[in-house]
Amino acid sequence: MPALVAGIHAKAMRRVARKAAKRFALAWMAGSSPAMTATLFLSIAIAPPVSAAEAFVTAQGADALSIVDLAKMETVATLPIGGKPAGIAVSRDGARAFVTSPEGKFLTIVDAVTRKIEKRIPVEGGPLGVAASPDGKRVYVADLYGRRLVEIDLASGAQRSVGVGAMASGVAVAPDGKIIVVADRDDNALSLIDAATFSRVGTIPVGKHPFGVTVDASSARAYSANVESDDVSIVDLRARKVIATLKCGSRPYTVALAKGRIFVANQHGDSVSVFDAETLAPLDTLKVGEYPEGLAASGDGARVYVANWFSNELWALDAETLKVLGKAETGDGPRAFGAFIRDAD
Amino acid sequence: MRKGSANIAVTRRLFLGAAAALASFLPITALAAHGASPLKVVETTIVDAPPEKVWAVVSDFARADWLPGVARVEASGDDVPDQARRRLVMADGGAIEELLTKRDAERMMLGLHREGDDVKRLPATNYTALITLRPAEGGKTEVEWKARFYRGHPTNDPPPELNDDVALVAVTKLQRAYLAALKAKVEQR
């Protein structure tokens, strides 16, 4: 519970700060005194450089990581990764990005601030889905071919693994850090792993071929995008069962949550389905680029970003108005499979 | 040395022939298993005809007998995405099944997915194509044929004959042949 309270507190603080900034900007635009304008410029000059929110997009065809400035909607850096990078997890504090290379059989740790490669850690099999523990101390990697989830202790480098189902794909850690959810694609099920004991405590049958998994902010529900049954399974993590199934577009791949809404990227539909997270009513289907894959929300939930594999673009969507806000060109074959958004400092 | 490798090739062909004979008794199932790294091939050509004329041929999913090597087409299902299917009966006796996944007349885009993999015919799996027409100079049409697929071997450490490079070469060749056939079909009139 304290974590939840802290979260709400931080959110409220951010809201207050945003309001103040908006008020200031409005006053300035309305024709404020030269002195006030000077103060604004001065404060900009003195303040340390504030980095914009960024997207860390794995460009599998380009064998690289495209870093997209989300204020400009522009790729500002390209990091060669190798081994056909696919999975991505940016740590909650934004310090690091973890990238899986299933063909190269390794995990790359990127310093997200300096944009330099820190380390490359061999992971046997086919490392694909990846997620970091909320404290950033451990990384969980799904081995697509080895029926296992690998835990890497970043301080010691020690690895251990726990058995999961066939073709383990997406991985998500509940924000409370207690449960890890793995999509066992070819078993049509989710595995639940207790993070403390690192043991498999449950399997939940879902739709056909679950690929991406997402857990909500309160760690109560998990969502799986089921590629072959064209639906999303909503799982109650306490009851450990499916409580609802949402029919979406053709070949859903990933799920993101923002503004009390559920967003689903439909690969063959070239679209994003939107549902009300409370009533589960379908709200809209948004046309996006070609073959949307990775989908993630900004930290404040205002925007949802989608990587389009065929058209090599990252699109920004307004989570409230559901309008397209911008597009950025990425390296070839953007997958961005995981938590690929790094919020502004 | 050369003789040796030729012998191996013959042996492999015999083996594949036996596998094909065996496979023909099995029902066609969508081999869903595929790996972690989709591949992409993008090929384009210019057709000397206006986009509407090219679109009339491309969008007629049920009558794609202009595709190279196709003897006849057996269409089934309503002629809408995710329902329309076509079975390309090949001149060599084999068959390819495809599902229409997208038909956007406004943007002139057609999508299809090969149902079931046959790595003897094409050393690739889970083949999806997106065909897009764009107006080009002088009333011509640029046709783009993009494909998404995986190598023939579904998991890690592929044998050399089913690796990424082999799949890329084969699909590139296939799409060039598709585009040449489309160009010939449209321009002959």
CATH of the domain at B131: 3.30.530.20
First and final CA of chain B: distance in angstroms?
Answer: 51
Structural domain contains residue B103? yes
Encode pLDDT of B112-128 as tens digits: 999 999 999 999 999 99
- Tell how far CA A91 is from the center of its chain: 10
Beta carbons of A60 and B128 less than 8 Å apart:
no
pLDDT of residue A1: 35
Strands A337-339 and A87-90, sheet pairing: parallel
| Residue A149, both tokens | 């989830």
- Of residues A136 and B26, more confidence is placed in A136
pLDDT > 90: percent of chain A: 84
Residues in chain B with CB shorter than 8 Å from the CB of A144 are 35-36, 155
Beta carbons of B155 and A126 less than 8 Å apart:
yes
Residues in chain A with CB shorter than 8 Å from the CB of B38 are 60, 309, 333
Beta carbons of B36 and A128 less than 8 Å apart:
yes
Residues in chain A with CB shorter than 8 Å from the CB of B158 are none
Out of A58-62, A110-114, B83-87, B155-159, which region has the weakest mean confidence (pLDDT)?
B155-159
pLDDT of residue A23: 45
Encode pLDDT of A234-280 as tens digits: 999 999 999 999 999 999 999 999 999 999 999 999 999 999 999 99
pLDDT of residue A344: 86
Cβ neighbours for A10, distance < 8 A, ≥ 6 positions apart: none
Report the SS3 class of residue A311.
Answer: coil
Best CA proximity match to A76, nearest among A318, A260, A330, A305 = A330
pLDDT of residue B94: 94
Mean pLDDT of A81-97: 97
Can you give the residue ranges of every domain in chain A?
A: 2-46, 54-342
pLDDT > 70: percent of chain A: 85
A131 pLDDT above the threshold of 90: yes
> How far, in Å, CA of A140 to CA of A189, rounded?
18
Show which residues on chain B lie within 8 Å of chain A, measured between beta carbons.
32-33, 35-40, 81-82, 101-102, 111, 113, 128, 130, 146, 148, 155-156
Residue at B188: amino acid letter = Q
CA dihedral of residues A307, A308, A312, A313 (deg, nearest 10): -60
DSSP state, A146? T
Structural domain contains residue B155? yes
A286 pLDDT above the threshold of 50: yes
A26 pLDDT above the threshold of 70: no
Confidence of residue B189 (pLDDT cuts 50, 70, 90): low
Structural domain contains residue B82? yes
Phi, psi of A165 (to 5 degrees): -90, -170
Closest approach of chain B CAs to the CA of A162, in angstroms? 20
Structural domain contains residue B7? no
Closest approach of chain B CAs to the CA of A47, in angstroms? 43
Cβ neighbours for A306, distance < 8 A, ≥ 6 positions apart: A265, A272, A288, A289, A292, A293, A294, A295, A314, A315, A317
For the domain bounded by A54-342, which CATH number is listed? 2.130.10.10
Encode pLDDT of A170-181 as tens digits: 999 999 999 999
Residues in chain A with CB shorter than 8 Å from the CB of B32 are 186, 209, 228
B51 pLDDT above the threshold of 90: yes
**ipTM reported for the complex, 2 dp:** 0.81
Question: Of all helices (H) and strands (E), which one includes residue B184?
Answer: helix B164-187
- Of residues B89 and A5, more confidence is placed in B89
pLDDT of residue A51: 66
> How far, in Å, CA of A221 to CA of A269, rounded?
25
> How far, in Å, CA of A265 to CA of A271, rounded?
6
pLDDT of residue B4: 38
Q: Which of B36, B113, B148 sits opposite A144 (nearest CB)?
A: B36
Mean pLDDT of A48-70: 89
Burial B46-64 (b: 16+ CB within 10 A, else e): ebebebebbbebbbebeeb
Mean pLDDT of A76-81: 98
| Mean of the per-residue pLDDT values of chain A | 90
Mean pLDDT of A135-149: 97
pLDDT of residue A52: 83
Residues in chain B with CB shorter than 8 Å from the CB of A209 are 32
B13 pLDDT above the threshold of 90: no
Mean pLDDT of A307-317: 98
Structural domain contains residue B180? yes
pLDDT of residue A284: 98
> How far, in Å, CA of B92 to CA of B69, rounded?
8
Burial A268-297 (b: 16+ CB within 10 A, else e): bbbbbbbbebeeeeeeebbebbbbbbbbbb
Beta carbons of A250 and B33 less than 8 Å apart:
no
> How far, in Å, CA of A115 to CA of A2, rounded?
33
User: For residue B111, what is the nearest residue in chain A, using CA coordinates?
Assistant: A268
Confidence of residue A36 (pLDDT cuts 50, 70, 90): very low
Mean pLDDT of A103-116: 97
Domain of B148 in residue numbering reads as 34-187
Q: With helix as H, strand as E and coil as C, how does B38-100 read?
A: CEEEEEEEEECCCHHHHHHHHCCHHHCCCCCCEEEEEEECCCCCCCCEEEEEECCCCEEEEEE
Closest approach of chain B CAs to the CA of A30, in angstroms? 43
pLDDT of residue A107: 98
Encode pLDDT of B55-99 as tens digits: 999 999 999 999 999 999 999 999 999 999 999 999 999 999 999
What domain count does chain B have?
1
Per-residue CA distances from B29 to A187, A228, A255, B114 (Å): 17, 14, 28, 11
DSSP letters spanning A47-90: SPPPPPPEEEEEETTTTEEEEEETTTTEEEEEEE--S---EEEE
Best CA proximity match to B103, nearest among A268, A296, A321, A103 = A268
pLDDT of residue A28: 42
